Structure 1
Amino acid sequence: MARLRHTIVLEPVSRRRVDDAVAVVHDIAEGLLAGGEGTLIAEDGRPVVEVTLTGGEHLRPGARYGFAASGPHLTELELLTWDRDRETGVRLDVTEPPHAVPRGGETSGALVSSVVRLRSAERPEHVEVTVDAALTRPDGRRRRLRWFTLHGGLDLARWWAAVGTDPATRATRAVPGAPALTVDVRHPILRAGVRAVPRADAADGRWRLDVEIMLRGRGLARPVAAVPLLVTRRVLHRAIGQALDRLADDWRVVLLPELDRDPEDFRRRLLDELCTGSVD
């Protein structure tokens, strides 16, 4: 088994901004009206060009939506639950059919199926994500050794308690050293577990996320995988550290500016994206 540790620095965002962003997304979805032939109409009267209703009743469990094609990928979403007080749940399927390659033959197809569940939109407390990904054969079956599953959970209540500035909140809700983010990945020959503990730096107010990653072989592959993991440990540590640092950069450059927006500006940008396919 290999155990790797790395700490990344994240610019902070307030809980109120995150809660507002979640509420805006739900408000926009609830403001959409179903028109003819699966067209969705936004609250300002514009037709939505990025998403169409392909089955079921809008915002009812079982409703299915198709997204504008991006290259060979096909993206479909099924609504599992929609209750702002309890849970929002969706399944997102992204498929890529086999396609010919320049020198003859064709590539494998691919399927990534993800389920996301949010416990409660009114006061977000927990996010759970499950991903099942595989390269597929012509008959749709996944190829041997070419698949993985992932299960992740983000305990938002624990996160806010750990990084909060109110000592009383930290004392009553934070569990020292307890991870707020957990991810478990399973592959035919390898398993990985990720545990991440957030904390706030008293000096600059930024968040430190202490990440621990455990890698081990599975079943009969465990002794076979042990030696490569040991030999490549230093390289793995450097590669994983660089990947985590890039995630921190993406948070700062891409996600944080959106979360920091005024809710009305955030709403306008999302509506423009849905109805025009672009934003200012």
Structure 2
Amino acid sequence: MVSVRHKVVVEPVPYPWLVDALAVIRTLAEESQADAQGLVLPDGQVIPDIRLTQGRHLRPGSVYLTEAEAEAEAEVELEVEDDDGDDDGDGEAKADADADADESGTSEEAEASETVQITVREWDHRRAVRLELALISDDMNVELDATLKSPDRPSLVEISGRMRGDAAPRTLFDMVGRARVRLDDWCPAADTDRTPPSAPAAARLDHRWIRADVRAEPRPSPSRDDGRWEIHVTVSLRGRRLLRPVAAVVLAVAARRIRRSVVQALDNLAAQWNDRVPHLVAMNADQLRETLLSRP
């Protein structure tokens, strides 16, 4: 088994702001109208990429479909440096690479499509909102079941899902996972010294060969004046089933590289969070609503 413990410091999301933000999103959804032509927002904007294909808007059993096609440009460029550091001959090399791409049929553009199906299982702002999402792309299928308990006073977020790869061998991509955040425990622990009985945020990812467990516990930043959260994260990796002895050897050999990669990934996530969250939490409910409406 490989265990990685790391600490990151992130900007906070105040619980009152979270309550207001969820209310804004819920209200926008409930004030909108949906049919087979698209989603009509309260200000009259139409989003044709989201269509109601079954049931009534936001009623249990209603199904929404979004489709998107993305064009990916693949450009092959080869630079050749001589001993003096000059780029002599790079034009000729690039021309050869372009010719090779044309002959192979991959050329410069490739189209990829993906479809997202959203099914409403429950929509009650006092009890719970539960959505099922199915993402189908050319090379991968992802199924998610997401539940938010008591949205008016959010207390628990639960997500479970499965990912299946269409590329061979499929066993490399097939995995299931689940995650839970107990907001009732997270917020007091993040803002005070109160220690919850167990990690308020936990996740598990099961692959045929490897199991990954993640736990996160928040604490107030040592310098309480800035209000930031100090999050202690533990990531554990272990082998599964008959391959456990083999996985144990592989994990032991790669332990240092795994620890470095996990730490780097957590630091990158914290940096992105700290770059985006302060701008969001600075908005009041009206500003957030206006921002959401301006991004159809």
Give me the TM-score of the superposition, normalised by structure 2.
0.80
Structure 1 residues 72-81 or 185-194, which shifts more? 72-81
Q: Could you list the structure 1 runs, at least 4 aligned residues long, displaced by more than 6 angstroms after superposition.
A: none
Residue 208, structure 1, aligned to residue 207, structure 2: no
Find the aligned partners of 1:123 and 1:137 in 2 and give their Cα distance.
42
Once the two structures are TM-superposed, the CA of residue 45 in structure 1 deviates from its matched residue by: 2.1
Q: Point out where structure 1 has 5 or more consecutive residues left out of the alignment.
A: 98-108, 275-280
Give the letter aligned to residue 180 of structure 2. G
Q: How does 1:152-191 map to 2 (within 5 A)?
A: 152-165=179-192, 170=194, 174-175=195-196, 178-191=198-211
Residue 21, structure 1, aligned to residue 21, structure 2: yes
Find the aligned partners of 2:216 and 2:118 in 1 and give their Cα distance.
29
Give the corresponding residue for 2:158: 128
Structure 1 residues 260-269 or 124-133, which shifts more? 260-269
Give the corresponding residue for 1:269: 291
Residue 94, structure 1, aligned to residue 135, structure 2: yes
Give the letter aligned to residue 254 of structure 1. R
User: Which has more radius of gyration?
Assistant: 2
Once the two structures are TM-superposed, the CA of residue 134 in structure 1 deviates from its matched residue by: 1.0
Partner of residue 219 from structure 1, selected from 241, 244, 248: 241
Once the two structures are TM-superposed, the CA of residue 68 in structure 1 deviates from its matched residue by: 4.5
Find the aligned partners of 1:160 and 1:151 in 2 and give their Cα distance.
21
Once the two structures are TM-superposed, the CA of residue 145 in structure 1 deviates from its matched residue by: 3.9
1:95–1:110 CA contact under 8 A, matched in 2: yes
Once the two structures are TM-superposed, the CA of residue 272 in structure 1 deviates from its matched residue by: 2.1
Give the letter aligned to residue 68 of structure 2. A
Structure 1 residues 69-78 or 155-164, which shifts more? 69-78
3-state SS, counterpart of residue 61 of structure 1: coil
Offset from partner CA, 1:117-164 (integer Å, 9 cap, x none) = 0001100001001121011279xxx93343011100011111111022
* CA RMSD of superposed structures (Å): 1.9
Find the aligned partners of 1:131 and 1:260 in 2 and give their Cα distance.
32
3-state SS, counterpart of residue 170 of structure 2: strand
1:13–1:260 CA contact under 8 A, matched in 2: no
Partner of residue 125 from structure 2, selected from 74, 79, 84: 84
Give the letter aligned to residue 160 of structure 1. C
Find the aligned partners of 1:128 and 1:155 in 2 and give their Cα distance.
9
Find the aligned partners of 2:37 and 2:48 in 1 and give their Cα distance.
11
